[in-house]
Structure 1
Amino acid sequence: MIRYLRTFATAAQTASFSATGDRLGLTQSAVSTQIKRLEDDLGYTLFDRAGKSVALNAQGRQALATAERILDLYDSLKGGQARVASTPIAIGAISTAQIGLLPRALRGFRDVYPGVHVNVLPGMSVQLLSQIDAQELDAAVMIKPNLGIPKDLKWLPLMQEPYVAIAPLRSRGTLDGLLRTLPFIRYNRRSYGGQPVDQFLKRQRLQVNDIMELDEPAVILRMVREGLGCAILPGLLAGVRGERVRVMALPGPPLHREIGVLVRQSALKDPVLKALVDSLTVQADALVRPPHHP
């Protein structure tokens, strides 16, 4: 069964039974057979099939998190290198990741490793990069750095978070008109996340009336909800869809920021830390691709 779970996890990554076979040294037919037997044993399907490509369905996404935890536990048993429960993990995270990503990811992680203490340290991406480089953190959930990443660190992408414009709920008019007439609450243009907003405004030649500049999208969201002005920010992790604000798409090419995990290469050998990264990956995927309702 461990073999079938590993095939399932690989197929989830590649979205192709053929590519899975190439990676695992199996024929496409063997991969299909293993997945079918696993589905028969579980009593439900894991993938939606469309021609030569496959995609996890809602049940498959839920099963993947458990399968990866089982595989991590099995690998740690083979290597005999399981983390001592008293050894803490220090993970940094930007504020929106603490709100929109970490809670569910940590819940899944603690189902398997309840004895591992996790220290969550807040910070802006620039600060977290320095702390990782100084070996003060094991990993950090942050915005991808604009500059090159040191060779002893590894960037693991989690999601592409789109930017949206938000305005008070009862506001009316076009985006261009709102940006010209309402006060503008700016996402700090010196931060990794705020720089794309500044570039977008210049590219679109949009004039704004700045009244304040903040580092935290979640705080900006609250300011807009209170009617203080409008803003442009990455809204998925901050939860703009659940707030009483008007949400508008941005014109032009898609504007997004890449959220991921920055980790030391050596730390990835720790199965416990890897399990935490895997849980973050599953939750990020669930946010970007909500469950399909037939």
Structure 2
Amino acid sequence: MNMQLRSVFLTLPLLSLYQPAALADRDHEAPRHQPPPRHTTPKHMQRAPSSGRLEVEKIILGGRGLQGTRIEVRYRLIDVKEFPAHPMTTSIVDDQSRQLIQISKLPMLVAPVPAEKAASTPPGKLYFWDQEGIIKPGSKISVMVAGLASLHLPVEAGPDYDPAAAQVAEAVIEKPKLPADATLKVHQVKDSGNGLLNVWFSTTGVDAITAGAEHTYVINQKTGEKLPVLRVPRIGLLAPKHLEHTDGSFMVINNQGRQVKRGDHITVVVVGLEQPDVLVE
């Protein structure tokens, strides 16, 4: 990756995780000098139009593979007229670690159903992959599907979940061994204004970022939340595979929801090397 990619990162489309739903129209009251029309619903029972809700039936932790531990989310979309955000903003967040796990490919969302038919409608399924083995049976996570959220939900172990296999997989992605004189220098971090952070950095003693970028991310110093490298369908991680560029390297961090803003301080981690107190411009 070279300096020319810097401008590409700054023009990536908006994929903000927390885009607000469309505002409902305000009720229009009849003029005081006119009596209210007959056969209307009493005002205290009227409901403003809404974008519906996400109902999560169950979250199941499955087996461990090359992509990580499989997490199955069974869900329904109830009374949804329009989605507040793009389907690629679908993700889950571990409540304890604040680790964000994005959907790996564009999801085919189930058709919305009216509330009265929800109980008789089979749930749809979404799959996420926990590369770092953070989520365990009993964990609480929050689910976001195209801007609709369901918060603080319990995770249960599925029939193919193997704790021993999960521990072995976690050992595989331990921090790579680096030379004692390996260094990281962050030249600049810029908030692009569309839910992305553009990081310009240089390293010595580090040849490449690992395939899953398990040890390359940004830490929000206010909350301790880890923000991962952005992964784009059909392209992969927006980070360099090799770190041999004399003018530095660039990577794009997923800052959906604008957790980190200009003026904040973050810690940049590249293959386990850390530089704290980096100002976001």
- Larger RCO, structures 1/2 (Cα 8 Å, 6+ apart): 1
TM over 0.5: no
- As a proportion of its length, which structure holds more strand? 2
- As a proportion of its length, which structure holds more helix? 1
Which of structures 1 and 2 has the bigger CA Rg? 2
TM range (shorter): under 0.3
| Alignment TM-score, normalising by the size of structure 2 | 0.23
